[in-house]
Chain A
Amino acid sequence: QVQLQESGPGLVKPSQTLSLTCTVSGGSISSGGYYWSWIRQHPGKGLEWIGYIYYSGSTYYNPSLKSRVTISVDTFKNQFSLKLRSVTAADTAVYYCAREYGDYPKGYGMDVWGQGTTVTVSS
């Protein structure tokens, strides 16, 4: 079955760029109907949807983060990535990648999740 695994630095300095990659195994990122998502969870808090990408490269972002976020896909490596620029302590969170089945803008839930990776923004 499809599995997702996040990777990237666990510590990022303020004002720098947070970069994470999600590797998809057990299936193809180019499978139609799936959107590849990033979600974060601040310490002890709820969930925040960051955005997602279709294998074609179409991206959809949360307007609250849109000016700082880029999500990209590498179909050859079966990976998708998150870049969040100009980070502050408020970006400290657990970052998850996930797969959403849907038909933009409607979705049917995120059925596969990575284990999550903790990113701390600190000097």
Chain B
Amino acid sequence: DIQMTQSPSSLSAPVGDRVTITCRASQSITSYLNWYQQKPGKAPKLLIYATSSFQSGVPSRFNGSGSGTDFTLTISSLQPEDFATYYCQQSYRIPYTFGQGTRLEIK
């Protein structure tokens, strides 16, 4: 299986800050990397697919980049509704696997 490792596991930041979450794959997944946002008690929500493509309705303050094994999700200016847990997921090879999650909290 392809292992996905996110860092940091948790992050505290104030509204308006710029934050970056990283995701590393144990082998190359080219650009088949997706990002999800999950709020407590809710299903995950697809934010970005194929490394950098926005899902419909996702604000432009979210940005994804990377290729091969190293990827990042950047939120340019944190809004109150952005505090959640973020997961990366590879969809390059079965079984699809997720990172362990990054919990983003208000500072």
Contacts and interface: CB of A to CB of B under 8 A. Distances in A.
Interface residues of B, number: 27
Contacts of B50: 108-109
A114 to B, nearest CB: 7
A113 B98 contact: no
Given A47-B89, A49-B95, A49-B98, A109 B44 contact: no
Contacts of A115: 42-43
A110 interface: yes
Contacts of A110: 34, 36, 44, 46
A115 to B, nearest CB: 6
B97 interface: yes
Contact of B96 (A49, A64, A111): A49
Contacts of A49: 89, 95-98
Interface stretch (A23-31, A76-84, A98-106): A98-106
A102 B91 contact: yes
B100 interface: yes
B34 A109 contact: yes
B107 interface: no
Interface in B33-56: 34, 36, 42-46, 48-50, 53, 55
Interface string B66-107: 000000000000000000000101011111111111000000
A111 B91 CA distance: 13
Contacts of B36: 47, 109-110
24 contacts: A46-B98, A46-B100, A47-B36, A47-B98, A47-B101, A49-B89, A49-B97, A49-B98, A60-B94, A61-B95, A104-B94, A105-B92, A107-B32, A107-B96, A108-B50, A109-B46, A109-B91, A110-B36, A110-B46, A111-B55, A113-B43, A113-B45, A114-B43, A115-B43
Interface of A: 46-49, 51, 60-64, 96, 98, 100, 102, 104-111, 113-116
Q: Which 8 A-B pairs have the closest CB atoms?
A: A107-B91, A109-B49, A109-B34, A113-B43, A62-B95, A49-B96, A47-B98, A109-B46
